[in-house]
Structure 1
Amino acid sequence: MVSIIWFRQDLRLSDNPALHAAVARMKSCGGKLLAVYIDDQKWPKASVAGAASRCWLHHSLLALDHSLNGRLLVCSGDPAKILAELAEQTGADSVYWNRCYEPWQVQRDKQIKAKFKQRNIACQSFNGSLLWEPWQVLKKDQTPYKVFTPFYRRGCLSAQVPREPLPAVDLNQDQLLDISKLTRSSIDQLKLLPEHNWADDMLARWQNTAGELQIGENAAKQRLATFLNQGLAGYKQGRDFPSQSSVSRLSPHLHFGEISANQVWYAATDKVLADSGADTLQSDLDHFHSELAWREFSYYLLYHFPEIPTENFQKKFNNFQWKANEAYLLAWKKGQTGIPIIDAGMRELWQTGYMHNRVRMLVGSFLVKNLLQPWQEGASWFFDCLVDADLASNSASWQWVAGSGADAAPYFRIFNPVTQAAKFDANGEYIRRYVPEIAALPNKYLFDPSNAPDDILQQANIKLGKDYPFAIVDLKASRERALAKFKDLGSAIER
């Protein structure tokens, strides 16, 4: 007998519940295991990740194939059709996968299960991505939470404890089905890599000191170990400073399932226990756990409110009059706004496929409030550029910044990017790294070159409007304009 394990956003061999079940079935029957990844060509166009994310996927699949001794069957097309054909060709009597939570994937998986049931083929799905299932955490009236803190404190933490991570499966090549006679594509044939060499520069930012690309399950484990040893202590405060190494940078590894949230949750807990649970470290752990819970909340919202990637969670925002401006939007995308911390963040995004969390909030606030551009434009650009292009987190976070989401930032919270830069990049390390054309400015004027005296600009050999743009909006005036427009929305955030 053959058992099929369908890899999706769980590209790992350890703590993989579906893989564990498939291997157990295979061993009990003395059969073979068929490992398959399908590049789904039936997804809605709006859900197709951008070049950065697809580039990461390419290398993550290579890493998984290596772990499977070259026996990962890679296909492209309609998963329902492909899985049915594989079951018929191989005589498979069971199919296993870990659940995904994007709306169209939920619907697709239900249909696939129903078809396999008609054919008397066992079909099981598991939770390999989340600490708590979205339907597991509800209010007393059995409706979903709309505010993060009660969701996490009253809902998640009072629910069952997250399951302990599972060990890596024990597989040898003889247990994996020979795929040489099956119709398949190569990973290269999926054409996940862009045709231009932009990806080479981007991937270089994800190499270790030995020049090795840090993508895949082993890299994810190493990234976690590095964070626990170097970033967890002081995380609560340090995570706000983009030039420090206090953030985990695990988001792409989590998105593609190279590591699970359960592994991260318990590894961080074990680290604190091993260090005798010092009070300050416990505080850092609690804050880190709450950030993992924000990821959970994002998936929770997407599951219960599947329209959040495109529609305002708070319907009163449907009446908001955005001021669409292509010039503003383009300047923001290119990192040419004349506001250094904003430009640094947008250039980091383009160059690395990643952006520091504090800076994500700043560039988001600047776009939707100072520039009055629709949050959907920002969400779309991030989804196109991030290696961790995660629909749930991206959608929930952009709606939070815009004020239109669940438990969103209040309309009057408009980050001042100049004072924020002075506070969280006081020495200008982050800005100078990504906006080198103004690196010669003293710190006093680095955060707001448009207000630097002429003699200071001359000493730094900078001509505004030529070497670096003037600020495209006045921060004070644009803030007042945004406050007036947002205040008009009236009623308080729905609780």
Structure 2
Amino acid sequence: MQKTVVWFRKDFRLHDNPALSEAAKEGFVIPVFIWSEEDKREYAESEASSWWIYHSVATLEKQLQAHGLKLFIKYGDEFDALVEVMDEAEANAVYFNERYEPVERKKESRIKAQLESIGKKVQSFHGHLLFSPDLLNKQGEPYKVFTSFWKRCMQEDVARPRPFPVEMKGIERGIHSLALNQLRIIDEKNWHQKFDEYWKPGEHPAVEKWQQYLEDGMSFYHAKRDFISSGSSSELSPYIAAGNISVKAMWHSAKSVSEETTEASVHQSIDTFLKQLIWRDFAYHQLIHKPDIIRYPLRKQFLDFPWQGTEEQLMKWKRGQTGYPLVDAGMRELWKTGMMHNRVRMVTASFLVKHLLIPWQEGYNWFKHTLLDFDAANNATGWQWVTGCGIDAAPYFRIFNPFLQSEKFDPSGRYIRKWVPELSNLQAPYIHKPWEAPVSVLEKADIQIGVTYPLPIVDHAAARNRALDAYQQVKGT
């Protein structure tokens, strides 16, 4: 029987795991997780998601153990580690699911070639996306407009999720393995340990959350997804990013619910939700074909954009001290929980690049550092969309008004009140623009503008005009 090393890498689940299911069918399964120097450097810039990865590996280790398999943990160069495991186990094959970040694609190509050069069998699988990353338009080029990509995807079949491998044969001895905590993926005393209050990473929590959302939350998604305190968000993005749950499994289970109901609102909500999953694929297609999108604007005229923001303003944005309540609430929620509602992400991002004229790459890097659901493709595509410098992006002159956004999508101020406690005694409508509240109202709420809560660091109207003037300088170039 074949002995196959299954290399886990951001696919920390047993259900619909193509590499694992194929290996299980063909013989003995040798699960491996490798932490390299490259990973160490990369995740030093992504501390929140490193917390999620650590706990995802820990839960995977327990799951495999329950099925009679040991997860072997290695540190160092991936090729060397894989060869070491194969020699120790007398294995002759390596299976893994592909990743699409530029560094990971180069790594996969190198390791495949190295293993094949020494006579080892190597097979990779598409387990991370709904559709093949080779999906091209009629001209044989990658799609540049999301609507066209979405319409094409709706004509394609999403592969059925692979069955859970019920019987798996493993090898318990003869392979050296580190303990997970020896990798020092996270610092036990670091800022992100507070995430324990809010999250339980891993496959079982992901599947449970998804099932509950299908039953209780999905029907409201279309109508309420932009309302910040509505509870219509699935909160599944960190699980998706780490591969705790299969997007193909989500797609088909949502489709099944849609087929079983006659309620138009449910059909509409499911279609809207699935469109978001397709957007994720679209983002990865951009990253695959334009790997520089994590650093450079796709619209080259933005290379000469006259950014004017200061380091002090950037720091106030990060800390939620801008004097714009919705922006501050979002940035504080991010720091506290590692997450932020999608509507608020757009508002905070727009504020950084358009109100403060700070380069979008600064926002990308901060989100990379603090988001539990950090995903290079989604993060880069989102920032370029908001900035107006990417493919199929929002026009630069679309500038979110944070006051109107909070009045519309957090009308009672519930979200602001939760994350900006110094404003907790202030009621709507004043909570959206606290400096406009009468002195008597502020005194009753125990608020001193400029003391207990800051004045806006920029005037909205002036900032908007400045942003449009800056855009005019690069518009025709």
Instruction: Give the TM-score of the pair, scaled to structure 2.
Output: 0.96
Matched residues in 2 for 1:10 and 1:262: separation? 13
1:209 counterpart residue number: none
Q: Which amino acid aligns with 1:315?
A: K
Alpha-carbon offset, residue 205 of structure 1: 1.2
Aligned length: 473
Matched residues in 2 for 1:417 and 1:341: separation? 6
Alpha-carbon offset, residue 46 of structure 1: 5.2
Matched residues in 2 for 1:224 and 1:471: separation? 39
Answer yes or no: is the 8 Å Cα contact 2:412–2:427 preserved in 1. no
Answer yes or no: is the 8 Å Cα contact 1:43–1:104 preserved in 2. no
Pairing 1:156–2:153 present: yes
How has the CA–CA distance of structure 1 residues 57 and 272 changed in structure 2, closer, same or farther, with 3 Å as cutoff?
same
Answer yes or no: is the 8 Å Cα contact 1:401–1:409 preserved in 2. yes
2:141 counterpart residue number: 143
1:67 to 51, 58, 63: 63
Matched residues in 1 for 2:250 and 2:58: separation? 23
Q: Which amino acid aligns with 1:204?
A: E
Answer yes or no: is the 8 Å Cα contact 1:10–1:257 preserved in 2. yes
1:77 counterpart residue number: 76
Alpha-carbon offset, residue 284 of structure 1: 1.0
Alpha-carbon offset, residue 48 of structure 1: 5.1
Matched residues in 2 for 1:18 and 1:168: separation? 12
Alpha-carbon offset, residue 455 of structure 1: 2.2
Deviations 1:368-427 (A, max 9, x none): 000000000000000000111111111110111111111111011100000100000011
2:367 to 382, 387, 390: 382
1:211 counterpart residue number: none
2:234 counterpart residue number: 248
Q: Which amino acid aligns with 2:49?
A: S
Answer yes or no: is the 8 Å Cα contact 1:51–1:194 preserved in 2. no
1:177 counterpart residue number: 171
Moved more, 358-367 or 108-117: 108-117
Deviations 1:150-183 (A, max 9, x none): 1111x3223x3010111211135xx21114x423
Answer yes or no: is the 8 Å Cα contact 2:43–2:49 preserved in 1. no
Matched residues in 1 for 2:235 and 2:209: separation? 8
Alpha-carbon offset, residue 309 of structure 1: 0.3
Pairing 1:233–2:219 present: yes
2:94 counterpart residue number: 95
Alpha-carbon offset, residue 272 of structure 1: 1.7
1:456 to 423, 441, 448: 441
Alpha-carbon offset, residue 279 of structure 1: 1.8
Alpha-carbon offset, residue 313 of structure 1: 1.0
Matched residues in 2 for 1:85 and 1:439: separation? 58
Deviations 1:267-286 (A, max 9, x none): 1111122223x222111111
Secondary structure of the corresponding residue to residue 134 of structure 1: coil
2:193 to 191, 200, 203: 200
Matched residues in 1 for 2:418 and 2:5: separation? 47
The alignment's C-alpha RMSD in Å is 1.6
Matched residues in 1 for 2:113 and 2:418: separation? 53
Moved more, 396-405 or 162-171: 162-171
1:120 counterpart residue number: 119
Matched residues in 2 for 1:40 and 1:305: separation? 25
Matched residues in 2 for 1:12 and 1:171: separation? 15
Matched residues in 2 for 1:324 and 1:439: separation? 30
Matched residues in 1 for 2:30 and 2:137: separation? 41
Q: Which amino acid aligns with 2:423?
A: I
Q: Which amino acid aligns with 1:362?
A: V
How has the CA–CA distance of structure 1 residues 112 and 197 changed in structure 2, closer, same or farther, with 3 Å as cutoff?
closer
Matched residues in 2 for 1:321 and 1:299: separation? 29
Pairing 1:165–2:151 present: no
Q: Structure 1 regions of 5+ residues with no counterpart?
A: 27-31, 207-213
Alpha-carbon offset, residue 51 of structure 1: 1.8
Answer yes or no: is the 8 Å Cα contact 1:55–1:199 preserved in 2. yes
Secondary structure of the corresponding residue to residue 79 of structure 2: helix
Pairing 1:39–2:40 present: no
Pairing 1:7–2:5 present: no
Matched residues in 1 for 2:223 and 2:35: separation? 40
Moved more, 69-78 or 326-335: 69-78
Deviations 1:453-492 (A, max 9, x none): 3222112111112211111110111011111111332249
Percent same amino acid at aligned positions? Answer: 40
Alpha-carbon offset, residue 201 of structure 1: 2.1
How has the CA–CA distance of structure 1 residues 40 and 156 changed in structure 2, closer, same or farther, with 3 Å as cutoff?
farther
2:247 to 261, 281, 303: 261
1:29 counterpart residue number: none
Alpha-carbon offset, residue 197 of structure 1: 5.5
Q: Which amino acid aligns with 2:133?
A: P
2:453 counterpart residue number: 468
Pairing 1:367–2:361 present: no
Moved more, 55-64 or 81-90: 81-90
Answer yes or no: is the 8 Å Cα contact 2:16–2:164 preserved in 1. yes
Instruction: Give the TM-score of the pair, scaled to structure 1.
Output: 0.93
Matched residues in 1 for 2:82 and 2:48: separation? 28
Secondary structure of the corresponding residue to residue 465 of structure 2: helix
Q: Which amino acid aligns with 1:420?
A: Q
Answer yes or no: is the 8 Å Cα contact 1:148–1:294 preserved in 2. yes
Secondary structure of the corresponding residue to residue 303 of structure 1: helix
Matched residues in 2 for 1:182 and 1:47: separation? 27
Secondary structure of the corresponding residue to residue 75 of structure 1: strand
Matched residues in 1 for 2:170 and 2:70: separation? 7
Moved more, 449-458 or 476-485: 449-458
